[in-house]
Structure 1
């Protein structure tokens, strides 16, 4: 005890495993507590405080009313295909871009839509794909007639693809360019064709990164709101789960129900992410990843 008292403050903190680096992390920890952790637990508590007084009243209402629980399937039906399309498009583009000389210029052009924002992209699609837009006018000139691509499923889907592709592409490109080219060169020297090199070398090394990219892209697509309202039919086929949350908070001032919808959204996202990461762990057991992902 006397030895501990004789130590200075820094030495006593170091003896407890708290050094200068740990103290530097305190502002970040406080930031997380203030902006993420506390709001989450407050929202979770609020979801169990419905207007009718029953603890699980909001959750019972959500899963017993098709206008509520039906939004889950609608959102998944939009977000999952959009995420898969962006993944399938970003992978070959990233492989091609990594071999080009003007990689920075092309990358800048490809990620330009992410700087426009969801609302501006939606407004552009309304002008381009609307009944009197350029696209339908061009179809009418060749006798194919107008095609309805806005205020329905396809308008929201196209918006998610346009705004989500730059994000997916950047993540995929970072993983693709991080693979040592010597591995591919060695395989080519041994006679492996391009398809074999991709299947045996690139794909196993990319699998952990592609799983993370899918999760992040899906979270972005699942939270769709402006596109569903501006380009879809929010009262019908594109009534996504964010719409009842917004209505509960702003139209009915029922923040408890809005928190309930937000908690359900978070639970769905966690389940999807857990499934993807579990699948990654089953598929990826290569030595380059150090065993299980």
Structure 2
């Protein structure tokens, strides 16, 4: 009789599945059930209303811009922390996790104070005609702040584990820094970068606390979907709340599915290479 590698697998798996069902599947199932209770016509009328569509556009566009910024600066930040030694490096590394530890409402208040017309950065930006607070730009800033760590923390371990011999071999063959990064490093970083990108985008879609203070929450201009769902909840319109929330849930699932496919392809490419 062969001995199992992990004793108690059945019990631990059962406990894990029960926990997952209660914490994740049950709330999501309740959300889907409540939205389905509306019926197709009522459901479509709610999610396709002009105000709802405007909130989708604002939320998704801001999340896409924030994610694009995080890809560039998150990768750069992970590169600096991993590849260089300088005074304050450990402090910088610790500050990356600050958005995880800081309550999002506190982050929203801090960003609003910083970028207000009389704030440290806001006064300088408004002097050149750039307004952040109560504009879509403020939404993007809040999303960037709260979702940047996802890119850094998924890419950083891969950078730390890369064999320097790969870069040295490419350098000895006459490749420049740019070519080494594109042809050698980027393919190896791609699965982690895709994972960080998807997590950053999903976090931006669902961000609420950091945005409501800096956005101004004006319908058709700076009202995000999470806020619209919250407004419907305060109106005790639970089916409409579930319908609007289900749209963002479906969007996040589709994004994660696309990312998983892209990750699988990237891994297959690495294995063939």
Question: Does the TM-score normalized on the shorter chain lie above 0.5?
Answer: yes
Shift of 1:212: 0.9
Q: Which moved more, 1:60-69 or 1:238-247?
A: 60-69
> Is 1:150 matched up with 2:133?
yes
> Is 1:203 matched up with 2:186?
yes
For the Cα contact (< 8 Å) 1:175–1:209, is it kept in 2? yes
Corresponding position of 2:24: 36
- The structure with the largest alpha-carbon Rg is 1
Q: 2:157 aligns with which of 174, 178, 191?
A: 174
Equivalents in 2 of 1:43, 1:104: separation in Å? 42
Shift of 1:81: 0.4
Corresponding position of 1:23: 11
Equivalents in 2 of 1:228, 1:180: separation in Å? 41
Corresponding position of 1:164: 147
- What is the Cα-based RMSD across aligned positions, in Å? 2.7
For the Cα contact (< 8 Å) 1:136–1:145, is it kept in 2? no
CA gap of 1:208–1:40, structure 2 versus 1, over 3 A, is: same
More RCO (CA 8 Å, sep 6+):
2
SS of the residue aligned with 2:37? Answer: coil
> Is 1:86 matched up with 2:70?
yes
> Is 1:124 matched up with 2:107?
no
SS of the residue aligned with 2:212? Answer: helix
CA gap of 1:82–1:32, structure 2 versus 1, over 3 A, is: same
Corresponding position of 1:242: 226
SS of the residue aligned with 1:98? Answer: helix
Equivalents in 2 of 1:283, 1:139: separation in Å? 40
Q: 1:252 aligns with which of 220, 228, 235?
A: 235
For the Cα contact (< 8 Å) 1:208–1:280, is it kept in 2? yes
CA gap of 1:135–1:24, structure 2 versus 1, over 3 A, is: closer
CA gap of 1:136–1:252, structure 2 versus 1, over 3 A, is: closer
Equivalents in 1 of 2:16, 2:231: separation in Å? 33
Q: TM-score of the superposition, structure 1-length normalised?
A: 0.81
SS of the residue aligned with 1:25? Answer: helix
Shift of 1:226: 2.1
Equivalents in 1 of 2:228, 2:209: separation in Å? 13
Q: What is the CA deviation profile of residues 116-161 of structure 1, one whole-angstrom value per residue up to 9, with x for unaligned ones?
A: 2322222112222212223344578xxx467422011111211221
Q: Is there any run of 5+ residues in structure 1 with no aligned partner, and where?
A: 1-10
> Is 1:47 matched up with 2:43?
no
Count residues with an aligned counterpart: 268
Q: TM-score of the superposition, structure 2-length normalised?
A: 0.87
Shift of 1:34: 0.9
Corresponding position of 1:61: 45
Q: What is the CA deviation profile of residues 156-191 of structure 1, one whole-angstrom value per residue up to 9, with x for unaligned ones?
A: 211221222233212221222222222222222332
Q: Is there any run of 5+ residues in structure 2 with no aligned partner, and where?
A: none
Q: What is the CA deviation profile of residues 50-92 of structure 1, one whole-angstrom value per residue up to 9, with x for unaligned ones?
A: 3xxxx22442222441111222111111111001101111112
> Is 1:71 matched up with 2:59?
no
For the Cα contact (< 8 Å) 1:228–1:239, is it kept in 2? no
